[in-house]
Amino acid sequence: MSQRVLITAGAGGIGQAIAKAYLAAGARVHISDINPEALEAMKRQYPDLGTTVGDVSKANEVEALFRDVQTHLGGLDVLVNNAGIAGATSPVADYPVKTWMDVMNVNLTGTFLVTQHAIPMLTQSAAGSIVVMSSLAGRFGYANRVAYSTSKWGLVGFTKTLALELGPLGITANSIHPGAVDGPRVQSVLEGRAKLSGRSVQEEYDSALANQSIKHFVDADDIAALVLFLTGPHGRSISGQMFPIDGDSKAAS
């Protein structure tokens, strides 16, 4: 029987790579996202894909999402908590309180709400799995990104608690900690840094990788492959663990 999979923020970036990997493996997949256009684009490419527009930080929209999941999938084997926002770039002394709350509402409360709704469905699965997308910033402090780092550290405690509570029910829970992911977004960031610093894009690239032993950014497809392994048949004894996938980074920057 093919896996039934829910991925939040599944219409772009890491979430999209994960969704495509599961679909390629023959899974039945439902994704949520706040971007309706991106969802429509994915639906055109994969007509059997289930989609829901929604904000994970809003309880009523999470309830609507799970009504859709029940209708489309009829159950759930895998939950990938991928939704999150970055927040502001600002020192703690000047960090906007509203932005702090927004980041916590999406990254922590949103993950809590989605997981809470998923647990009754996962308990009915013969091989339930939860993956929580943390970050490199969930292993190190991150100057000028206090809300993001705090929330990503919080997800580690959340995941380890899930592993303790749900392990006896046969459900695994693990967190993944990517570094900077290769693609248009990081390229745009490097170009912006170069304009401000007067250095070349290549110099900014080298600087960004200075804390890594492996000198390239993370491939989103590699993150997807790790998710599939952890939620597959060979991952049934792996739970409560943190999985860095960051080129052996020594700091968040």
pLDDT tens digit sequence for 230-243 = 999 999 999 999 99
Residue 192 has pLDDT above 70, yes or no: no
Distances (CA, A) of 170 to 27, 77, 114, 166, 179: 20, 11, 19, 7, 30
Higher-scoring residue by pLDDT: 107, 185: 107
Contact present, 56 and 82 (Cβ < 8 Å): no
Contact present, 221 and 183 (Cβ < 8 Å): no
Q: How far apart are CA 70 and CA 111, in angstroms?
A: 19
Residue 83 has pLDDT above 80, yes or no: yes
The two tokens of residue 73 are 């999938």
pLDDT at 115: 98
The pTM of this model reads: 0.93
The two tokens of residue 148 are 């993001």
> Any idea where the domains of the chain sit in the sequence?
4-181+219-245, 182-217
pLDDT at 179: 87
Per-residue pLDDT tens digits for 24-54: 999 999 999 999 999 999 999 999 999 999 9
pLDDT, mean of residues 76-96: 95
The two tokens of residue 220 are 């989103």
Q: Which residues are catalytic?
A: 148
pLDDT, mean of residues 53-61: 98
The pLDDT > 70 percentage for the chain reads 99
Q: How far apart are CA 181 and CA 185, in angstroms?
A: 8
Quickly state the pLDDT bin for 103 (edges 50, 70, 90).
very high
Per-residue pLDDT tens digits for 121-159: 999 999 999 999 999 999 999 888 999 999 999 999 999
The domain defined by 4-181+219-245 folds into Rossmann fold (3.40.50)
pLDDT at 198: 86
| Mean of all residue pLDDT scores within the chain | 94
pLDDT, mean of residues 64-75: 98
Residue 71 has pLDDT above 90, yes or no: yes
